[in-house]
Amino acid sequence: MIPLSWYLAVAAVLFVMGFYGVLARRNAIAILMGIELMLNSVNINLLAFWRYVHPTDVAGLVFAIIVITVAAAEAAVGLALFIALYRLRDTVNIDEVDLLKG
Amino acid sequence: MNATLFLIPALPFTAFVLIVLFTNQNKKVSAGLTIGTTAVSWLLGWYFAFRAFFSPHEIASEPIRLTIPWFAGGYSVFYTGFQVDVLTAAMLFMVPFLCLLIFIYSVGYMEGDPRFSRFFAYLALFATGMLGFVMADNMLLAFIFWELMGVCSYLLIGFWSYRKPGETHIDHAQVIRARNASLKAFITTRVGDTVMLAGMVLLYAMTGSLRWSEVLSHETLHMLSEKIANVPFFGLTPWATVLAILIFWGAIGKSAQFPLHVWLPDAMEGPTPVSALIHAATMVSAGVYLIIRTFPLFHAVMEGHNGALLFVAFIGTFTAFFAATIGVAQFDIKRVLAYSTISQLGYMFAALGIGAYIAAAFHLIMHAFFKALLFLSSGSVIHAMHHGHHVAHAHGHGDHEEEDHFNPNDMRNMGGLLKKMPVTGWTFIAGGLSLSGFPLITSGFWSKDEILSDAWHGGHMVVFWTLALAAFLTAFYTWRQIFMTFFGEPRTEAAKHAHESPKSMTVPLTILAIFAIAAGWSGIPESFPGLGALVHGWFQSFMGAQAHAIGLEVEHLPFDARPLLISVVLVLSGMTAAWLLYGRRSNVTEHGYVDPLEPALGGLWVAMHNKWWVDEFYQGTVIAFAKWFSHFAYAFDDKWVIDPIVDGVGRFGRWLAVSVRRFIDEQIIDRLVNATAWVSNVVGEWARQIQTGQAQNYLLAILLTVGVLLVLGLGW
Amino acid sequence: MVLQGVFIIVSLFTLLSALMVVTHRNLFISALFLVSTFFGVAALYVLLEAEFLAVAQVLVYIGAIATLIIFAIMLSRGMMQGRTSPYNAQAMWAGIGSVVLGLLLLYVVAFQVDWPVTDAKVPADTISNLGAALVGHYVIPFEVASVLLLAALIGAVMIAREKEY
């Protein structure tokens, strides 16, 4: 049996890497990819807990499915935004989008 | 009954108040109020007077009193009130009666005047003043009424200085004259009043009281004549003399004696009833009353050192003669009578000065009657001349030069009026006889003669001869006036068209004429041969009771024919001279009317006609000085003192403001504010760097926060 | 024992792929590594006995999302040459922070919590249960999710379309 904490550890590391990608990359799509990584780690967490705490209840599975759905929708919208941004600003580097700079 | 004393002055006062507040619009009611209340005061006055007539000695020693406490000052209470003693009783006989007759006369005289009701209001107020004055039992109350009369005199003399728009019976020149005259009267009497007030204050300081009974008591008078004051220029004088002279100045002002006589002729600008009432009968005699009342004060110092009485005698005698000379050369009918009044008042003061207490009081009462009569009938004449003038020009008679500058008072425009106005004429003649002292039948004779014989007997020969000469002049100018006005031929169209005045005017004239003739009979001295037994010198003993009560010895003089004869001769020759110069000749030449004295006396006549240039002298000295001084005071006060102070304050204020601005505003406040702004600027510049606009930075911050929270949550 | 070994291999594969995703200079390569990460995650799902989810993961994530990402990368070709640094200015701090956070999380996971683990088995009819639940008990989230997808679709079209000026 694989202990629950291993799964959680993997999820944690994956999450942190995804977060690092969001924070440190300049390209908007790279950031999007980091977000996807974080979502995946969340899903791992969810399913790990489902499996080890309430395997009979499908709620965990349903939750994870909904997460995937939402991730898909969000990726679509995000990429649309990316295209609009590229058209408008002629750049995809996020650190050049600083209109809110005070 | 004694409590009704206060009604005598109070009733006319209520008439005044009611007219002013309520009935101003209604002429009939206003006149009715004044006359009605005065009639009641007259009846009450005669009640008290007759009570005194029948028991003079009791009244003299114990006057009828009405006393009330007025105000409390410190430890003492100042009482005030009214009293009726013998002297007041005599005044109460004359004053309200004359007031009533003159008020009735005014109804006819002032008919048609737009400010009729107001006139009657002022008359009522004046009646209050005079009645209150003669009845006051202390000098303070008397002074208040004295001043009230002064105010009424001002208002009434200046009655025609107010002209409602659209009025045609007063022209602008008259307005100016009336205004100047009223001011002159008030200010000139004010000069006398101020000195009198000083005397009053000093009297109170010396004696602690102002009530006649206390101030004129033997002990007080003795004290005052003993105490010596050091008066600058005059040396050591008894206080009694000082106070007496100071108080006498009030009488000089009010009774128009030299040198303060200048206001009375000008006061003729007022309507004739005013001249009759105030400037002949009552107000001017208030001065005489005052001196009679305070006579003990004058008399207090022993003979030989009596400067006060000497001063009074001098002023009186001089004025009597001085005014008579001026009266001879005047053409205005009222001006002649005005100077005559001044002269007769001089007689009264001369009498007092030589100690003829009773004679002065006698002449006061008699003069009031016949002088009022003379003024009223002269008013009737003026009234008739005015109407005659309008009638003449309505009919187109006469030349138009006359129309613009016609003076109805000018005797040169009159003549032959006896035929046109018989009642007026004969009453005027009756008054004239009395004034000139026509022997035996007129009251003027008895009173004037009493003064002359007292002077003769007292050995005051200067006084006697001066007064006798003045009597000659009096007769002369009186009959000059009568001949010019009533005899001969009418000299103008106006005189031709004159007619008699209405009954409201002629009836009082008739009544007064009776008094002018007969009243004097009450004073026929006992020692007079034949007639003396008629009344046994009733007036003398009546007034003698008062004299006795105040400690004056009255000699009963034996009859001496010499002063009598001298005065009769002078009076008759005066009348004859007037007839010769004015009654027998027409005096009208191609240059108009020429007074025969003018070419005869030359420069002397010019001096008399110009009133000896006293007015001009005052104008050049006193008035000029007053003007200069007021300019100086203005300059000193405003330009040299007040303005620099005010400017200085202003400058200081500005300097202060500028300094505050420089040192506090600019240095401190501004710096503080700027510093605050700079701080916020700097902080802002630094803080804005947090806003990079890059979301990733914000996310990093979130990361760090979460980490911190985790750590905290873990309990480290 | 075997299971644990498999687990370790799969998780290492996944984590290494993820690392390459976030660090590679070339964006396209990053996208490909993303795909491999998704595969690894799917494998983990299988290990967790959530087979349906593993398949759904592959279909949706790799088939749709990763494809979409690669399309977007293609559309912005000029940007993916990788000549400039892929990192921004705060990369170092981000890295340190991430590492710290990661260590903290690992610590928490490993030592702090007593997980309420059960020994229950996954029922055999989980999938049919799942299907029934999706249209039964959880119909509302299901429908809302579809509405969400519709909205995302429309939204994406709206945002990305050419504006006629």
pLDDT for C63-76, tens place per residue?
999 999 998 888 77
Q: Are B174 and B269 in contact (CB under 8 A)?
A: yes
Q: Are B300 and B224 in contact (CB under 8 A)?
A: yes
Q: What is the mean pLDDT of chain C?
A: 88
Region B680-699 average pLDDT: 87
CATH value at residue A68: 1.10.287.3510
Please tell me the total count of domains within chain C.
Answer: 2
Q: Are the beta carbons of B695 and A94 separated by less than 8 Å?
A: yes
Structural domain including A90 reads: 4-96
Residue A64: inside a domain, yes or no? yes
The span from the CA of B1 to the CA of B44, in Å, is: 10
Q: Are the beta carbons of C120 and A55 separated by less than 8 Å?
A: yes
Using CB atoms, which chains have 3+ pairs under 8 A with A? B, C
Residue C119: inside a domain, yes or no? no
Residue C139: inside a domain, yes or no? yes
Residues of A in contact with B694 (CB under 8 A): 94-95, 97-98, 101
User: pTM for the full model?
Assistant: 0.66
Surface-to-core class of residue B489, CB atoms within 10 Å of its CB (0-12 exposed, 13-18 middle, 19+ buried):
exposed
Residue A88: inside a domain, yes or no? yes
Q: Are the beta carbons of C68 and A79 separated by less than 8 Å?
A: yes
Region B14-34 average pLDDT: 86
Residues of A in contact with B692 (CB under 8 A): 98, 101
Residue of B nearest to C107 (CA): B714
CATH value at residue C50: 1.20.120.1200
Residue of B nearest to C95 (CA): B700
Both C76 and C130 in one domain: the answer is no
The span from the CA of B215 to the CA of B200, in Å, is: 11
Question: For residue B231, which phi and psi values (nearest 5 degrees)?
Answer: -95, 130
Structural domain including C143 reads: 126-165
Of C62, C81, C100, which residue is a domain's last? Answer: C81
Residues of C in contact with A65 (CB under 8 A): 53, 56, 134
Which two structure tokens, joined as six digits, stand for B403? 């129309």
What share of chain B in percent tops pLDDT 90?
21
The DSSP bridge partners found for residue B68 are B80
Q: Is B714 on the interface with C (CB under 8 A)?
A: yes
Region B92-111 average pLDDT: 89
Question: For residue B513, which phi and psi values (nearest 5 degrees)?
Answer: -60, -40
Query: How many CB pairs (< 8 A) connect A and C?
Result: 239
DSSP string, B548-582: HHTT-----PPP-HHHHHHHHHHHHHHHHHHIIII
pLDDT for A10-25, tens place per residue?
999 999 999 999 999 9
**How far is the alpha carbon of B656 from chain A, nearest alpha carbon, in Å?**
47
pLDDT reading at B518 higher than 60: yes
Which residue carries 């007997």 as its tokens? B457
Q: Is A46 on the interface with C (CB under 8 A)?
A: no
Region C94-110 average pLDDT: 90
H or E segment and range at residue C9: helix C2-23
Residue B281: name the closest of B223, B366, B199 by CA.
B366
- All residues at 6 or more sequence positions from B593 whose CB lies less than 8 Å from its CB, including other chains: B412, B491, B587
Q: How far is CA B349 from CA B175, B196, B290, B318, in A?
A: 34, 16, 11, 10
Residues of B in contact with A22 (CB under 8 A): 696, 699
Q: Are the beta carbons of A95 and B699 separated by less than 8 Å?
A: no
pLDDT for B622-655, tens place per residue?
888 989 998 988 888 888 888 888 899 999 999 9
Residue A102: inside a domain, yes or no? no
Residues of B in contact with C105 (CB under 8 A): 710
Using only C-alpha atoms, chain C has a radius of gyration, in whole angstroms, of: 20
Q: Are B99 and B127 in contact (CB under 8 A)?
A: yes
DSSP string, B603-635: HHHHHHHTGGGHHHHHIIIIIHHHHHHHHHHHI
Residue A101: inside a domain, yes or no? no
pLDDT for C20-63, tens place per residue?
999 988 888 999 999 999 999 999 999 999 999 999 999 999 99
Query: How many CB pairs (< 8 A) connect A and B?
Result: 31
Please tell me the total count of domains within chain A.
Answer: 1
Which two structure tokens, joined as six digits, stand for C42? 């799917």
Q: Are the beta carbons of C104 and B696 separated by less than 8 Å?
A: no
pLDDT for B214-250, tens place per residue?
888 878 888 887 777 777 777 777 888 888 889 999 8
Q: Are C68 and A75 in contact (CB under 8 A)?
A: yes
- Write out the E strands in B48-89: 64-73, 76-84
C162 vs B374, more confident: B374
Both C6 and C77 in one domain: the answer is yes
**From the candidates B689, B690, B706, which should be mutated to test the interface with C, based on the most C CB atoms within 10 A?**
B706
pLDDT for B591-612, tens place per residue?
677 777 777 777 888 888 888 8
Residues of B in contact with A97 (CB under 8 A): 693-694
Q: Is A89 on the interface with C (CB under 8 A)?
A: no
**How far is the alpha carbon of A58 from chain B, nearest alpha carbon, in Å?**
31
The span from the CA of A25 to the CA of C90, in Å, is: 9
Residue of A nearest to C37 (CA): A37
Both C5 and C73 in one domain: the answer is yes
Q: Are A101 and B690 in contact (CB under 8 A)?
A: no
**Global ipTM:** 0.91
Residue B397 confidence class, pLDDT cut points 50, 70, 90: low
Q: How many CB atoms lie within 10 A of CB B713?
A: 12
- Tell me the Ramachandran region of residue B151: left when phi exceeds 0, alpha when psi lies from -120 to 50, beta otherwise: alpha
